[in-house]
Structure 1
Amino acid sequence: MALNFRFAIASDLHVALPHTIWDHPNRFHLVEVGIPALEQVLEHLATLDLDFLLLPGDLTQHGERDNHAWLSDRLAQLPYPVYVIPGNHDVPLAQTDGHLIGLSDFPAYYPHCGYTDRDRLYYTRELLPGLRLIGLNSNWFDETRTQIGYLDEKQLHWLREVLAASRGELVLVTIHHNVIEHLPGQSTNALGRRYMLGNAPELLALLHAAGVKLIFTGHLHVQDIAEWRGMYDITTGSLVSYPHPYRTLNFRTDDRGRQWLEIESHRITSVPDFPELATTSKEWMGDRSFPFMMRLLTGPPLCLLEAEAKRWAPSLRYFWADIADGDPKFDFPEFPPAVRRYFRGFSASKAIDNRAILPLSN
């Protein structure tokens, strides 16, 4: 069957009703813009003939019941199907404390967004004839109740069965944590690996063997498309941090059976209380970048002394904002050679993070 469909992705919404907003002076997220930005996205999507919308986690500021309830009700009003998965901020606790939901509470809020089984944190749905979505839960609490990105064996066993039964279908997978590296050394660097799935190699091997080519993630708050052995991990930046992006995607099959995915990115540039949102949010991120850049410079692999790191950190004020924007190009000729080479390594080899046509045929 020749598949042709259109869908959209908005990630890391961090929805926060006004009475729930946390006053964290050093937070990177402009959660104040979350709801008006989402409304602009939905207004645009209403003009398109969408088949569905994906929201790959971190739907709420930090798992507040009021925010989950508001978003659930808003999504129920949309004229097209919406499919969600939990992010680490959606389920910050193993068990509810009354104000914040617990991990097992999440499906009950979104029965209309994939979770028809309220006792399971992952699901599969036939979206169209020949098209299947698998929504995975990558949130796990270890024996110390520390939240990590991980798929337990029970979920992996279920996934093997679903993939075996899905032969002949086009399978899309969505999961909050990244499964392919989007940054150099992401899976080994202390600053990057917390955004990776802990057992990503196992999941990738399983999906690759089943012929899955498209994985949609969030969590990292950047626009990036990473590829491994013909598989793509398409991560979408956060709606509440620079550059406030979302994506529309068209899957096409031509008369010769060749398939490709066309990706277009969009940005929210203004909301009522932030008329110059792009400029404001980039400066907001830059103002808070120094501690992060110091950790990057003084940690492996550079391991600079603190005094030297302080010398170069101001030049990196917009480094993370430029990565979040997608398709970055970096060169800092004033840096020492080794440091210069390291940061040049974050440059995109080709410009596909925001607009791309990905070939999917064998």
Structure 2
Amino acid sequence: MSRPTGPGGSGTVLARLARPAGEPTRVAVVADPHVATRAEGTSKLFERTRAHFEAALADVADRDVDAVLSPGDLTKDGEPWNYEAVDEALADLDAPFHAVPGNHDVPKDGDDHETPGLGRFVERYTPSDPVVRGPDGLSYRVGVGDLDVIGLNSAGTAERLTDSHEGHVGADQRAWLADQIARAETAVVLVHHNLPAVTAQLDAHRAAVESDLAEVPAMRDPEPLVETLAAGDVSLVLSGHYHLPTTAVSGGSADGGADGVPASGANGGSSERRSGGVREVAAPTTCSFPQSYLLCDVTPEGTTVRLVPVADSVGLETAHARRAADSATARGLTGIAAARLAAAPLVDER
């Protein structure tokens, strides 16, 4: 099947994966837009977040995607006016939009506003006719082309994780997840928070380069989740959260060592294939460097993941400069993102 490339060009190949493989299916992954209409500044470039999100959706509209997936953080901090801006941006999108909440989308104890009820998130940003919903209502399984996309809520609810930006997937959720994986033909899991091997890349950067890089809120007790995903032989996990375009395998052996850092071959990508474990591809943010989304093309030969920028060269350079001049954490995450882009493709399993 021939697919249009859209105004952003074909994009930079981030990864060539052996799985998922199947009938041609194309999904866009638009992560962490952090739409903010009453804020400006910071390394997230709040004053440009809406424009970046709209640019991503406009580019996606020309690419004949089967769906747009989002691992969350749609808003700055769950403000009603920012959700309204998200709704306005999505109004003209013809493709289905399937999201899971991020830690900035759900109510937190310190909020100075009333975050809309999570029933609204379910109604506006999750499938209207999923195959099934999870026990919290925010998780679901839905068919997208040849894929079975399982949206998994790691961010919490109005009663859970309100005191933290960490993620967690509890025993009831894992039992539901295991059942849905078993029922799926080609399971792809969409979740906000990252698995351990991607988190380990931040730890490695902290140890080697940026000692003041903060401990970014991570997934609590992730090992049981990895075990559930690995036992079900999940094809791919798509995540966001760290604002990094990267990939890693948790719970098995593949490219990269124990720290999860991709090992580069002569062409910048490892030719090793995963041996067990769970392949995760983490999407960049549209709000700050490198202001991009992912375009994933599934074919019978495997999946090609491309990174597509939503800003021009001046916008990218401005975002890089702003983020590099911010906190040690922003500077560190920018350094990791730049290194991953320079090494692309990060992995070639084919």
Residue in 1 that maps onto 2:221: 199
The answer on 1:242 being equivalent to 2:264 is: no
TM-score of the superposed pair, with normalisation by structure 1: 0.71
The answer on 1:13 being equivalent to 2:26 is: no
Which secondary structure state, in structure 1, belongs to the residue aligned with residue 316 of structure 2?
A: helix
1:282 to 1:144, Cα distance in 2 relative to 1, 3 A = closer
User: How far 1:14 moved relative to its partner?
Assistant: 0.6
Residue in 1 that maps onto 2:299: 252
Residue in 2 that maps onto 1:279: 317
User: How far 1:13 moved relative to its partner?
Assistant: 0.5
Residue in 2 that maps onto 1:150: 168
Q: What's the RMSD between the two structures over aligned residues? A: 3.2
In structure 1, what is the Cα distance between the partners aligned to 2:110 and 2:97?
A: 26
118-127 or 237-246, which deviates more: 118-127
Instruction: Give matches, 1:174-323, under 5 Å.
Output: 174-182=190-198, 184=200, 186=202, 194-228=216-250, 229=252, 230=274, 231-253=278-300, 259-270=301-312, 276-290=314-328, 292=329, 319-323=332-336
The answer on 1:135 being equivalent to 2:135 is: no
TM-score of the superposed pair, with normalisation by structure 2: 0.74
- Matched AA of 1:218: G
In structure 2, what is the Cα distance between the partners aligned to 1:146 and 1:2?
A: 39
Which secondary structure state, in structure 1, belongs to the residue aligned with residue 76 of structure 2?
A: coil
In structure 1, what is the Cα distance between the partners aligned to 2:126 and 2:36?
A: 21
In structure 2, what is the Cα distance between the partners aligned to 1:95 and 1:251?
A: 42
| Equivalent residues of 1:222, 1:325 under 8 A apart | no
Residue in 2 that maps onto 1:88: 103
Instruction: Give matches, 1:96-115, under 5 Å.
Output: 99-103=114-118, 105-112=120-127
Unaligned 5+ segments in structure 2 are 1-20, 207-211, 253-273
| Equivalent residues of 1:223, 1:325 under 8 A apart | no
Structure 1 residue runs of 4+, over 6 Å off? Answer: 94-97, 113-116, 187-190
Describe the superposition over 1:125-179 as per-residue Cα deviations: whole angstroms up to 9, x where unpaired: 1223x5200001112366883342101222112112212222xx11110100001
1:193 to 1:3, Cα distance in 2 relative to 1, 3 A = farther
Specify which of 317, 321, 324 is matched with residue 337 of structure 2: 324
1:158 to 1:192, Cα distance in 2 relative to 1, 3 A = farther
Describe the superposition over 1:74-121 as per-residue Cα deviations: whole angstroms up to 9, x where unpaired: 324311111111000111427987632355653233255677869612
Residue in 2 that maps onto 1:122: 139
Describe the superposition over 1:311-354 as per-residue Cα deviations: whole angstroms up to 9, x where unpaired: xxxxxxx543231235267xxxxxxxxxxxxxxxxxxxx6334x
In structure 1, what is the Cα distance between the partners aligned to 2:164 and 2:118?
A: 13
The answer on 1:4 being equivalent to 2:24 is: yes
Higher radius of gyration, 1 or 2? 1
| Equivalent residues of 1:34, 1:240 under 8 A apart | yes
Which secondary structure state, in structure 1, belongs to the residue aligned with residue 52 of structure 2?
A: helix
Higher normalized contact order (CA 8 Å, seq sep 6+, divided by chain length): 2
143-152 or 130-139, which deviates more: 143-152
Specify which of 135, 159, 164 is matched with residue 182 of structure 2: 164
157-166 or 139-148, which deviates more: 139-148
Corresponding pairs, count: 295
Unaligned 5+ segments in structure 1 are 254-258, 294-317, 330-349
Specify which of 65, 71, 81 is matched with residue 80 of structure 2: 65
The answer on 1:351 being equivalent to 2:344 is: yes
In structure 1, what is the Cα distance between the partners aligned to 2:78 and 2:213?
A: 23
1:143 to 1:69, Cα distance in 2 relative to 1, 3 A = closer
Describe the superposition over 1:36-63 as per-residue Cα deviations: whole angstroms up to 9, x where unpaired: 1122222222221211111111011110
Which secondary structure state, in structure 2, belongs to the residue aligned with residue 181 of structure 1?
A: helix
In structure 2, what is the Cα distance between the partners aligned to 1:165 and 1:179?
A: 23
1:281 to 1:74, Cα distance in 2 relative to 1, 3 A = closer
- Matched AA of 2:26: R
1:97 to 1:161, Cα distance in 2 relative to 1, 3 A = farther
Residue in 2 that maps onto 1:311: none
- Matched AA of 1:3: E
In structure 1, what is the Cα distance between the partners aligned to 2:103 and 2:94?
A: 28
| Equivalent residues of 1:85, 1:174 under 8 A apart | yes
In structure 2, what is the Cα distance between the partners aligned to 1:144 and 1:48?
A: 38
Which secondary structure state, in structure 2, belongs to the residue aligned with residue 205 of structure 1?
A: helix
